[in-house]
Amino acid sequence: MQNTQKTIKELNLEDDFLFAKVMSDREICRQVLEKILNVPITEIVLPTTQRTIDILFEGKGIKLDVYVNDGNGTVYNVEMQRGKKRELPKRSRYYQGSLDLDLISAGEPYHSLRKTFIIFICTFDPFKDKRHLYTFENICRENTAILLGDETSKIFLNTKGARDDIDNDMKEFLTYIENTTDAYAAQASSSLVKKIHHKVTEVKQSKEMEVEYMTLLQRDRENIEMGREEGAMQAAKIIRLHSKGYNLEDIAASLNLDFSYVKDIIDNYEKDE
């Protein structure tokens, strides 16, 4: 969801809209992935921005900021993550499983699964170790030299890192994410930052992009308002059933809701009484 206080010209690269538009540039996307992974990538195939994967009917779909394949069939999902989200590790697990289900059809052999990277670019330190870069792969606890070999990696970048664990180009890129300005780009030595800023300027000056951004803002406002209305109606149902003597377990079961959510509604209602 976009920040309703910002115009398109005030966006930083951390904002989903601008990030998705910039990363839809094949060459920029290739260079960013190459820099993050520190491996050569010869080609990026069909970048798909803000793609939604719906796994099951009434299931929990995921919206991917940037979902791309390379020439070798490796799949990369790159996401911006703002605000301190405690569920980030499990979110990465869910995304990984969702990608796998999306990549393989029923009945296909497991070796059809592709190598995948889940990459979260965080504007906070997700593991509080002051690193700019955290990379996770499945290994044997009894012998850490043994890799599981499932070809999955989860990478967390941290714009608030304080260690000397990445090169200057990466440090400037991470700083630029929250300081996407002409002044910063002008003094940066990184050619990648300068290339990205050229694309950023192009997006911000485009009337077509401005209209699209404003349309998305309006849609987000409408969705928020709709969510508030639905939430109020749901709370009213919970309170009505509670007043009729139903216990919390029965209310949760009858409305297909989490018990903790029902309890929170009732606790807040009784506190206000």
Residue 11 identity (one-letter amino acid)? L
Q: What's the CA gap between 137 and 144, in Å, rounded?
A: 11
- Max CA separation in the chain (angstroms): 68
Which has the closest alpha carbon to 210: 2, 20, 9, 3?
9
Which has the closest alpha carbon to 234: 265, 211, 205?
265
Give yes or no for a contact between 24 and 36, defined as CB atoms under 8 angstroms apart: no
Task: List Cβ<8 Å contacts ≥24 apart for 53-61.
Answer: 53/98, 53/99, 53/102, 55/98, 55/101, 55/102, 60/94, 61/98
The DSSP output letter for 25 is S
Residues in the chain: 273
Give yes or no for a contact between 218 and 246, defined as CB atoms under 8 angstroms apart: no
Q: Is the pTM of this model over 0.75?
A: yes
**What are the pLDDT tens digits along the chain (273 aa)?**
444 468 999 999 999 999 999 999 999 999 999 999 999 998 888 666 677 776 655 556 677 788 888 888 899 999 999 877 668 999 999 999 988 988 887 677 888 899 999 999 999 999 999 999 999 999 999 999 999 999 999 999 999 999 999 999 999 999 999 999 999 999 999 999 999 999 999 999 999 999 999 998 888 777 777 777 788 888 889 998 998 999 998 998 888 888 888 888 888 877 765
